[in-house]
Amino acid sequence: MDVARAIALRINHKRDLFDYDDLIGGDKYVTEDIPHFVTIPTTAGTGSEVGRSAIISEDSSKKKRILFSPKLMAKIVFADPLLTMELPPFITAATGMDALTHNMEAYLAKNYHPMCDGIALEGIALIADSLEIATHNPNVDSRAKMLLASLMGAVAFQKGLGIVHSLAHPLSSLLDTHHGLANAVNLPYGMQFNYEGFENRFDKMADAFGLRTKAGNRVVEYLFEMNDKLGMPTKLSEIDVKQEHIKELSDLAEADFCHPNNPKPVTREDFKTLYQKAL
């Protein structure tokens, strides 16, 4: 869907594609009409169907570039769970963990946006209710909940994302790791980093997960267990990350666009420590 959006942008905009990168103010060049287009998601994860950007990894710099404009929002979205019924367990789990990461990071992101917060918490609850079933015994109900939670995550993360996506992006650009898988492995570690100082927010997420009241301190453990139940790895070494990758991964993570919205600041050293811990 991101590629389709880039193609739609290209029809009436002829500059070099990366000139439109939002991070260097390129959205100001999106001045012409974008042809009518609809989006039809066939996985429940990115939520790109309701997005307004095309995120493309640049070969030379290994960085994610963001082509963004409100004009890049689809005119119609067809979100039909029947189209996701045949997804194999790995793709279901990995994309589902991406959706979960969106909702959790959006909920914690430092900008003030109670509407996004509410959407994110309900997205978390829907995923807690359905991801395991959708992965191992899919039915229309679990697929529908996942599709909605994915779309809700993408709406909520207009508020911002955070440390987990900054840990995950370099794995994809450097080692070609599946985006959802990269998030799944890093999610518990990133949340562990964020917990202190944000205990109240973790308590609210624990409620959404259906854990005990005021069980924010159980969230990280719950995420490890969730990865286990979904057949996702819990260590970076299980997805071919090696000690010698950590320096470059940390450089790329520091340069990533997501962590400035993390509820607490993240340094290059923090990224290094987290990769090391997750290895």
Which among 72-80, 95-103, 117-125, 204-212 is the span making contact with Fe ion, rule CB under 5 A? 95-103
Distance CA 134, CA 260 (A): 33
Minimum CB separation of residue 67 from Fe ion in Å reads 16
- Give min distance, CB of 177 to Fe ion, in A: 12
Whichever of 69 and 150 has its CB closer to Fe ion, that residue is: 150
* Beta carbon nearer to Fe ion, 98 or 256: 98
Q: Which residue is nearest to Fe ion (CB)?
A: 98
| Residue carrying the six token digits 């909702």 | 103
Bridge partners for 56 per DSSP: 65
Q: Which of 120, 118, 153 is nearest to 43 (CA)?
A: 153
- Does position 98 interact with Fe ion (CB under 5 A)? The reply is yes
Q: Following DSSP, what letter does each residue of 5-23 receive, concatenated? A: HHHHHHHH--S-GGGGBGG
Q: How far is the CB of 228 from Fe ion (least distance, A)?
A: 21
193 vs 195: CA distance, rounded Å: 6
Residue 49 binds Fe ion, judged by CB under 5 A: no
Task: Note whether 256 binds Fe ion by CB under 5 A.
Answer: no
- Closest approach, Cβ 89 to Fe ion, in A, equals 19
Orientation angle between helical segments 163-175 and 246-255, nearest 10 degrees? 120
Contact 9, 34 (CB under 8 A): yes
Stretch binding Fe ion (CB under 5 A), from 24-32, 58-66, 90-98, 223-231: 90-98
Q: Which residues bind Fe ion (CB under 5 A)?
A: 98
